[in-house]
Amino acid sequence: MKIIANPRAGHGKGDKNVAQLACIIRRRGLDCLPVLTEYPGHATELARRAAEAAEPRLAVMGGDGTVGEVVEGLVGSDTELAVISVGTGNDVARSLGLPLNDIEASLDLAIGGSVRAIDVGRERDRHFISVLGLGFPTIVADAANRARWLKGPPAFFVSVYKGLYRLRPVRLVIELDDRTLEMESVAVMIQNTPYTGGGLHMAPGAQIDDGLLDVVIVDDIGRLNLMLNFPKAYRGRHLDHPSFTLHQSRTVRITSPEPMPKMFDGDLIGTSPLEASVVPRSLKVVVGSSSANGG
């Protein structure tokens, strides 16, 4: 089994994680081959080659961004994806009930776990496994990716409060299957998984194989109101606040007065307008026998 490993994942711990992975493989005499990524998009190229070669199973070691790159190369293929999660957010692994920042346990699961078919989101010619964000989520993701002295959920928590001064509402037209919303909004999160942002339970009822996207919209909530209510999102209680609404849809189209950055699984790529849809059960992932059901 090949393991695509990102030596830059985990805010400076990538090289250490790669060394630990190699040590475990040698010590246990495992038939695993680590392949290191060298530049953005390399993981997609490596995954696509694996799918074209009909490799039965491929592992990825890194954060949600690296996992997203590999998904781009595997979606729609028969190659199974195993996740060794050692990044900043780890929301894909968290949503699937996989080990977090535990290379040995993740490797055991990658080798011996069972397989589950899950949905993937698609935005034009690009896919996402966890979240596609517009507005404030792009500010938070950018700040978390730049953080060097924090990692994991604290990096996202601090990035939210650091980014509050850049919070501004934008007039959006949001089309969801059979209805259209026109509103002032500071954030839209199109969720395939229940978790995002390093453990925010943003879409508590999301199921990763139900053929639906969970769309969380935040209206013109204001800085102070968001600051006071943001911690509730870790418990999935933010939806009690009237500024947060959740909709389920198979398709989402969003237009804005000016181009806005889009965030795919933690990475900023492209700008609005946005046209997303769900691709049902198009990815095979390796999970444990007690894997979370996506909620």
Residue-wise pLDDT for 241-270, tens only, equals 999 999 999 999 999 999 999 999 988 999
pLDDT-based confidence at 164, cuts 50/70/90? Answer: confident
CA distance 246 to 292: 21
Summarize pLDDT for 96-131 with one digit per residue, the tens.
999 999 999 999 999 999 999 999 999 999 999 999
Cα dist. 154→91, 143, 200, 224, 236 in Å? 14, 12, 11, 20, 18
CA distance 245 to 117: 28
- Where does the chain hold its CATH 3.40.50.10330 domain(s)? 2-119+283-287
Looking up tokens 């040995």 gives: 104
Q: Residue 11 has what pLDDT? A: 57
Q: Write down the architecture of domain 128-280 according to CATH.
A: Sandwich (2.60)
Q: Can you give the pTM of this predicted structure? A: 0.90
Q: Residue 290 has what pLDDT? A: 58
pLDDT-based confidence at 158, cuts 50/70/90? Answer: confident
Summarize pLDDT for 274-284 with one digit per residue, the tens.
999 999 999 99
Give the mean pLDDT of the chain.
91
CATH 3.40.190.10 holds for 2-119+283-287: no
CB-based contacts of 286: which residues, under 8 Å, 6+ apart? Answer: 57, 59, 80, 81, 82, 83, 109, 110, 113, 114, 115
Summarize pLDDT for 231-244 with one digit per residue, the tens.
899 899 999 999 99
- Where does the chain hold its CATH 2.60.200.40 domain(s)? 128-280
Please check whether residue 80 is in contact with residue 286, taking contact to mean a CB–CB distance below 8 angstroms: yes
